[in-house]
Structure 1
Amino acid sequence: MASGKARLPYRDINVKFASDAYIFTSPSSPDASPLVIDRPTGDMHLYESTLLASKRISRVQSIAGILGIIQLRLDKYIIVITKVEPVGRLKGHQVYRIVSTDLLPLRERQISDSDEDVFISLLRNFIKSGPMYFSYAADLTNSFQRQAYYDTSLPLWMRADDRFFWNKFVNQDLIEFRRNGSRTHHGPQAGVDPYILPIIFGMLEIKPTKFRNTPLTYALITRRSRHRGGTRYFTRGIDEKGNVANYNETEQIVVLNDSGGGLGGFSGGSGMQSGKLGGSGPDLQVLSYVQTRGSVPVYWSEINTLSYTPKLQVKAIDTSMAAAKAHFDEQVRLYGDNYLVNLVNQKGRERQVKEAYEELVEKLVKTPIESTTQDERTSEKFHVIEPTNGRRTLDRVHYIYFDFHAETKGLQMHRAQLLVDRMLAALEAQQYFRAFDMPASLDGRLEVRNHQTSVVRTNCMDCLDRTNVVQSMLARWTLDRMFVDLGILQRGETFSTSDPDFEFMFRNIWADNADIVSKSYSGTGAMKTDLTRTGKRTKAGTLQDGNVAVTRYYKNNFLDGPRQDAFDLFLGVYQPSAANIGTSLVFADRRPLLIQSIPYVLAFAVFFVMVGLFTPRNPEAGATMSRFFVLFFTGVAGWSLHFILSNGMLYVNWPKLNPRPYALEGFQDTMTKVRKDKLIGQLVVRHERGQSTARYSNAEEGKKRIE
């Protein structure tokens, strides 16, 4: 068995800069082999410290860890974590949020390359804006229930849940070296284990608090899957491997008698290497409850055209069956029975998605039994699809549709509680995880007393606003149950009426969860957070939702292309080294110059209209020319705006690294229409002909580039 230090990442690392290598060492582990990454080859070695005396070190920098290594177009870069912020302690272990990073190139770039600069900018902005968390000693990728059964003799990165090991792709070089060695180091290299630091992407808050004078730690962790990661309109539905868009696992945690305290930095001494602080007193106890969310698992998409409501496409269900089966096979294997709570509208454009989901479940489940409940508000208050007593894996899937919008219409959000009431039997059978710390255990293993036997998988169209409202209600119901079982609440009581301060904390941490999850997917905070924070729907909250809707429209149409490119780059969906090399062709705007210029024509026309309307005029001057001036540029502005809105596919900021097939098809169809435009059609055709030779020359030059 490996030692405790070897199983955990180093909490203090120095990187030494030499002309021919980067050298990583841990001051608190002087006997450990330094990790040497050669420049410019990127070859890795584990050397004895005495063998490095000949290296000429130009400077030394203290870092919190290695985020990963990534190959871009011209060079390979080591991403190091330069600044972190303590979030709190969970079961005695310190948790951190990444604040800043730096990219260390393996070679000094001799040429200028605009695409390489864009790649670097995408990475920097993505890491800076992404909520990423880690711990040197605690496994944040796994729920407490999964942690209770894994092999603690394995290094931390080997225990990590593959779905939530967010930086796994950028750690492939280190992982490959660990497993197979290199030209000079043959076989597995266990000495590199402490340099591999698993990161999660999502939301994490830890609140040491009290409930009725009982000290406890309340924590909420939302882990976003690294599979099918992306932005709202560019990543929908399911892929062929069974991964769904915006998949998140949310774990609500209560820790009692946690004696760990203090907020140490990342450069702790060797005595802190384990990261665990112990103490005497009552046994530490952990209770946790897990929920999931994810996009409707069929092939569907929403196509931006600058219309406020994107065009919806849902493919035939038969094409999704294999992928959906793979998805639910995994979900049942990981969580047990799955209760699929669907919150999309049963009317309007969302109806297609609802019906597709139900048709899918009907085909997956053997001899399904369906039932529908209605009331004065809606003809389909609940639609339930249950399996018969089949023994197949997919017969552990239970579908529950709830007409959220109809039931909560008129700011009556309290009626969402009807869903919780409808699911009481399932929730009671579901249970939650409960375990005690084993005092004699040196590896922090828990003694399990209770298991969570199933999971609620919630979705709406985006898996954001409605989803978070329902998830917070399920978490509230379960937390009441936990407190009753702990004896700090009487049966029939609720924490919301028993402790206003705890209620305030609970509401705000779930509202923070809504905002953070929403921002990473849609670019804005969540809607309906007034309900989560205050317990009621307000007119001010409705106005704020309007502001969020407008902001989402702008960002999803004009800013999300680069954001999606950043996801694809960091997660390895697009690998520059494996792509075709050309001269600044990756991020080039391939639209005809005339098409590109029309938004600028619109802006100038509006400017001149404003000048004509508000510039003081000489009383003796005639008004005819001024009126003609204003009318002319008003016409230009009107035509330009009409052209842009009529050909919106040409003005959406699409992803460039991994183009969507529907975007390419829509772009070509729109260009065909523009070429027939009576006013500018011939100009566009002439411009495209003039570009063809230049494009061919660029392509030929790209084939000859060597870098």
Structure 2
Amino acid sequence: MTLPYRDINVHVAADSYTFTSPSSPNSPALIVDRPTGDVRLSEASHFPSKRVSRVSNKYVIIITKSQPMGRLKGHMVYKIISTEFLPMRERQIRDPDEDQFLSLLKTYIMKGPMYFSYSLDLTNSFQRQATMDNSSPLWMRADDRFFWNRFVQSDLINFRRTGNRSQPGPQPGADPYILPVIWGTLEIRPTTFKNTPLTLVLITRKARHRAGTRYFTRGLDEEGHAANYNETEQIVVLNDTGRGLGGYAGSTDMQSGKYRSSEGAETQVLSYVQTRGSVPVYWAEINALKYTPKLQVRGIETALPAAKKHFDEQIRIYGDNYLVNLVNQGGREKRIKEAYEQMVQMLVSSPSDKVKSDAITDEKFHIIEPSSSKQEYDRLHYIYFDYHHETKGMQMHKAMLLVEQLHDALIKQQYFRGVDMPANGGLETRNFQTSVVRTNCMDSLDRTNVVQSMLARWTLDRMFVDLGLLQRGETFATADTAFEFLFRNIWADNADTVSKSYAGTGAMKTDITRTGKRTKAGILQDGNIAVTRFYLNNFRDGPRQDAFDLFLGAYEPAAANIGSSYIFADRRPILIQSIPYILAFSIFFIFVGLFTRRLPGSTVWTIRLFILFWLVVAAWCFNFVISHGMLYVNWPKLNPRPWAVEGYQDAITKIHKDALLGPFVARHERGLSTARYLNAEEGKKRIE
């Protein structure tokens, strides 16, 4: 079995970068030619070094510092702390757009929560790992959905598969240089439960397809990839004697990464997998500086092929899917609820609807099940739960009604249980998880986090009962308060990580996850998060979305049909750009008038007129910005959203008709480059 090298030296020369492994001196070196970026292998052992200082349009990204996070079944896992960009070509002239590309990646991607292991496949759940051929290279076993740096390594992977002109054919010598990385949560906590040593692990893997930010990435794309899609695996490892950060227990084989228990006890792995993702239809929320963005839902029939692709993959990987929907049944979210239900009814055979109501709500549960099992999509089971009304007034314990509703499905679903078999280097499966719960709310964040932690809690109780650590009917919450505290906080930390990636802030309602109840401090914290999200999602998320698109290959500068010098320039009319600055100056002058000491003999009415004038100017500017919010949202520039293009054009048309500003805007807009519109239309084509 070929695993990635644990130690790689980089030799820098004017015409190449050469990567070697000191611990494997007889292995071929990987050479990346400059400036072409061509990849090849060489048996040479000495490489001259020379540092260069300029950047170019193609780079090698290397991990320069990592932090050990702990051992999982004897395998060390690391978090990426710092990286370095190695340029392919020195450039004599500075390119501002290229500097901007680098800044996006370094600011929003390289600081993200990314993890890797040299010997353990972090992209796959333990259940999937147990059914795989562990003799193949680590990167070949990786789940393509969660292979976060897959696009960045595409040149190297293509070389490995087909070679190049000088070295045609497959190049297995490149395998140890390909290292899969995941983005998300990875918590490894060696602990005890009722004096029984065990390791509690939580891994959340963020999908690289349709990754992005809250208001700029919703629903499905045409390939069936859902926005904010994450797989979360809760793992318990028993008799894991290699849990520390020291050397391998009973083994010094650094390259193989094999783990052998020194105590001879049977190492068991129990895991439970859940998923989350945006409502699987075509929909969007269009932010225009309103706290509640405009909701847009495209035709359900139009999205049907994409939904089929989505659920084809979900059923193939997980089996039956229990689709838990937590959006509100009233108000603006009602359209999303109805769209989801219409989609499920179109997918399953002879759908059977069942609605449960009570004194609080007319639709506590809405269940859609196929009345027969004629086709693949009859493995979809839709469960709507009115989370908002049931938990209103801090009645958070009522969310357990959903777990009770899912009880029979959870019993049938089970969980994965495997025993480590050092002889064959893998896990011997004793029990399979046969289905998955896919949970969503509007953002698939706050409400989803609470429900996923409840399902994880219920399943962990079941695991402990099956292991003989709990009596039937007993819960770990009452049996071991220290373990309960650890469980709550590890899930709350996961909620924050997933939320920061998508919404830019920590999650709401984490007081429920951490303490088990709704608190006044938690409500105040949620208010602060709501305000922060409004600011970030309107004024800061454009560049963050661009960074995702750039790193994941949704936008390729070399393939763009427009000169890069047009990409990041603000080409709104100068007058439109100036309004917020006039507003800021107006507020400044108002404060000057209010707090500046008057000179002796000066009249009061003069100051009052001064303040009144700037109050009128400030009010007009503020009203203008709010009324034309589409012009002031910080939109993604690399892949402009279709609704942003349409909204921008509508807003400009509206301003042209304005009696005061119309003539000035039209005059300053004359002669503007059409690059903004060309770039926008190109982005629209790519998205659609």
Q: Same fold (TM over 0.5)?
A: yes
Is 1:563 equivalent to 2:558 in the alignment? no
Q: Distance in 1 between matches of 2:643 and 2:497?
A: 29
Q: Distance in 2 between matches of 1:270 and 1:686?
A: 74
Deviates more, 1:506-515 or 1:581-590: 581-590
Q: Distance in 2 between matches of 1:537 and 1:113?
A: 52
Is 1:681 equivalent to 2:662 in the alignment? yes
Task: Output one character per residue of 1:165-212: Cα deviation in whole Å (capped at 9) or x when no partner.
Answer: 011011110001101111211111100000000001111100000000
1:599-638 alignment runs, 5 A limit: 599-638=580-619
Q: Is the 8 A contact 1:387 1:395 kept in 2?
A: yes
Q: Is the 8 A contact 1:413 1:536 kept in 2?
A: yes
SS at match of 2:253: helix
Q: Is the 8 A contact 1:260 1:276 kept in 2?
A: no
Deviates more, 1:377-386 or 1:34-43: 34-43
SS at match of 1:631: helix
SS at match of 2:566: coil
Is 1:420 equivalent to 2:406 in the alignment? no
Q: Is the 8 A contact 2:71 2:243 kept in 1?
A: yes
Amino acid at match of 1:28: S
TM-score, structure 2 normalization: 0.96
Q: Distance in 2 between matches of 1:519 and 1:694?
A: 33
Is 1:57 equivalent to 2:40 in the alignment? no
SS at match of 1:95: strand
Which of 576, 582, 605 lines up with 1:595 in the alignment?
Answer: 576
**Shift of the alpha carbon at 1:38?**
1.2
Q: Is the 8 A contact 1:242 1:326 kept in 2?
A: yes
Is 1:15 equivalent to 2:10 in the alignment? yes
Q: Is the 8 A contact 1:22 1:38 kept in 2?
A: yes
Is 1:573 equivalent to 2:554 in the alignment? yes
Tell me the residue number matched to 1:364: 347
Amino acid at match of 2:591: M
Tell me the residue number matched to 1:215: 197
1:179-328 alignment runs, 5 A limit: 179-263=161-245, 271-280=253-262, 281-328=264-311
Tell me the residue number matched to 2:120: 138
Q: Is the 8 A contact 2:56 2:87 kept in 1?
A: no
Tell me the residue number matched to 1:704: none
Q: Is the 8 A contact 1:86 1:265 kept in 2?
A: no
Which of 332, 338, 342 lines up with 2:325 in the alignment?
Answer: 342
Tell me the residue number matched to 1:100: 82
Specify every segment of 5 or more residues in structure 2 that has no aligned partner in the other structure, as ranges: 680-688
Tell me the residue number matched to 2:492: 511
Q: Distance in 2 between matches of 1:270 and 1:660?
A: 53
SS at match of 1:584: helix
Task: Output one character per residue of 1:673-695: Cα deviation in whole Å (capped at 9) or x when no partner.
Answer: 01111211110001011535999
**Shift of the alpha carbon at 1:58?**
2.8
Is 1:664 equivalent to 2:659 in the alignment? no
Specify every segment of 5 or more residues in structure 1 that has no aligned partner in the other structure, as ranges: 61-71, 699-707
Q: Is the 8 A contact 2:67 2:81 kept in 1?
A: yes
**Shift of the alpha carbon at 1:471?**
0.3
Q: Distance in 2 between matches of 1:252 and 1:693?
A: 51
Q: Distance in 2 between matches of 1:129 and 1:600?
A: 32
What root-mean-square deviation, in Å, do the aligned CA atoms of Structure 1 and Structure 2 show?
Answer: 1.9
Classify 1:99/1:344 alpha carbon distance in 2 versus 1 (closer, same or farther; 3 Å): same
Tell me the residue number matched to 2:58: 76
1:518-557 alignment runs, 5 A limit: 518-557=499-538
**Shift of the alpha carbon at 1:300?**
0.4
Tell me the residue number matched to 2:672: 691
Q: Is the 8 A contact 2:72 2:243 kept in 1?
A: no
Is 1:394 equivalent to 2:377 in the alignment? yes
Which of 449, 462, 465 lines up with 2:443 in the alignment?
Answer: 462
**Shift of the alpha carbon at 1:264?**
5.8
Q: Is the 8 A contact 1:245 1:295 kept in 2?
A: yes
Q: Is the 8 A contact 1:202 1:224 kept in 2?
A: yes
Amino acid at match of 1:57: S
**Shift of the alpha carbon at 1:9?**
0.3
TM-score, structure 1 normalization: 0.93
Q: Is the 8 A contact 1:73 1:576 kept in 2?
A: no
Task: Output one character per residue of 1:343-367: Cα deviation in whole Å (capped at 9) or x when no partner.
Answer: 0000000000000100111111100
Deviates more, 1:624-633 or 1:189-198: 624-633
Q: Distance in 2 between matches of 1:99 and 1:548?
A: 26
Task: Output one character per residue of 1:16-56: Cα deviation in whole Å (capped at 9) or x when no partner.
Answer: 11121111000111110011111112122211134xx4x43
1:437-448 alignment runs, 5 A limit: 437-441=420-424, 444-448=425-429
Q: Distance in 2 between matches of 1:132 and 1:495?
A: 31
Tell me the residue number matched to 2:479: 498
Tell me the residue number matched to 2:39: 44
Q: Distance in 2 between matches of 1:275 and 1:517?
A: 30
Classify 1:320/1:265 alpha carbon distance in 2 versus 1 (closer, same or farther; 3 Å): farther
Tell me the residue number matched to 1:116: 98
Q: Distance in 1 between matches of 2:675 and 2:547?
A: 29
Q: Distance in 1 between matches of 2:393 and 2:23?
A: 61
Q: Distance in 1 between matches of 2:674 and 2:117?
A: 55
SS at match of 2:122: coil
Identical amino acids, percent of aligned pairs = 69
